[in-house]
Amino acid sequence: MEKISSPFLRNNSLSGVLDRNLRKLEERLTVRIALRGDDLIIDGDRQRVEFALSFFKRMAELTEKGHHLKEEDFQIALDLLEQDSSRTLEDYFPVEALNLSRKSIAPKSLNQQEYIQAVKKSDLVFGIGPAGTGKTYLAMAMALSFLQSKAVHRIILTRPAVEAGERLGFLPGDLAQKINPYLRPLYDALFDLSQYDQANRLIEKGIIEIAPLAFMRGRTLNGAFIILDEAQNTTREQMKMILTRPGFDSKLVVTADITQIDLPQPKQSGVLEAIKILSAIPEIAFVYFNEKDVVRHPLVQKIILAYDKATARPVKTP
């Protein structure tokens, strides 16, 4: 058993964050943790206790240097230290929040941090991972941030209108009514991040354009922040087409969940081919998300893990 005493816990904001985060930290550190007054008591396997002790001391050092830690920062720091215990945490905290018209957005995991940094530095970024990891939401936040700072003068949001080939004819209504359900997730992210009236005005003026992927053919998009969502459901031809649309002063972010390819022949997915062909080009960034990055209900992480295990397990033949 080890004890960290008052100097670490006298920061009220830090002790509050710890108290809310205690059960999660116990599970990840595989130790028992108790807060007693100004003392943090750690008990368990000696090696794990020593790691936890080192972890909390390093978090204390961050607060002493003026970093204002949030709940997710503890998880990010654990990700870093589990990869390399000698890593310098100061280089990763804090990541500047994206201050948008409706709310401020900050990354909630290490991969989300790397994703935001990749979008800032690279003109083409692939965000690959399961649903709920923030791929589309953070891309939308970055797009609005770039528009707000006048780094781009328009936003283009696109996705395959129907999973397997954009066959819209059987749906009732005019074209807008046909494609709207497939573009709704992009609208949801946009309206969650910006004022509803402001977003609608930008759409009416054409500053924000939301359209199915087929509408991108033949265009050159200058000064634009382009997001291709659900890219796992593009064909090879569609992927090549959108990758060649950006013009000068443009950025393209491609998001995909390669575990949910809805094409008739999943191996023909355009994003799988793009990863294989483009991964050696240093100017293109690839960020891979996993269950630790899920920011939905905690149960979603466990569901993703369960499906991953089931998929990896060999199927027994009778």
231: Cβ contacts below 8 Å, ≥ 6 apart: 126, 159, 239, 254, 255, 256, 270, 271, 274
CA distances from 5 to 31, 42, 111, 160, 184 (A): 17, 11, 32, 56, 51
Rg (CA), the chain: 22
Q: Do the beta carbons of residue 145 and residue 305 sit within 8 Å?
A: no
Q: Per residue in 227-242, pLDDT tens? A: 999 999 999 999 999 9
One DSSP character per residue, 245-310 reads: -B-TT-EEEEEE-TT---SSSGGG-HHHHHHHHHTT-TTEEEEE--GGG--S-HHHHHHHHHHHHH
Report field, pTM of the whole predicted structure over 0.75: no
Q: Which residues pair with 157 in a beta bridge?
A: 210, 227
Averaged pLDDT of the chain: 81
Residue with tokens 């494609």: 179
Other C-beta atoms closer than 10 Å to the C-beta of 304 total 22
Check whether 314 has a pLDDT greater than 60. Answer: no
Q: Where are the alpha helices (DSSP H) in the chain?
A: 6-9, 12-29, 46-64, 71-83, 110-121, 135-148, 175-193, 196-204, 236-243, 270-278, 298-312
Pairwise CA distance, residues 65 & 49, whole Å: 24
Q: Do the beta carbons of residue 106 and residue 97 sit within 8 Å?
A: yes
Q: Per residue in 251-309, pLDDT tens? A: 999 999 998 888 888 888 999 999 999 999 999 999 999 887 876 666 777 787 788 78
Pairwise CA distance, residues 86 & 89, whole Å: 9
Other C-beta atoms closer than 10 Å to the C-beta of 149 total 8
63 burial class (0-12, 13-18, 19+ CB within 10 angstroms)? middle
What is residue 163's predicted lDDT score, i.e. its pLDDT? 43
Confidence of residue 247 (pLDDT cuts 50, 70, 90): very high
Pairwise CA distance, residues 105 & 126, whole Å: 20
Check whether 185 has a pLDDT greater than 70. Answer: yes
Q: In the structure encoding, which two tokens stand for residue 74, read together?
A: 């503890």
Residues 57-78 have a mean pLDDT of: 77
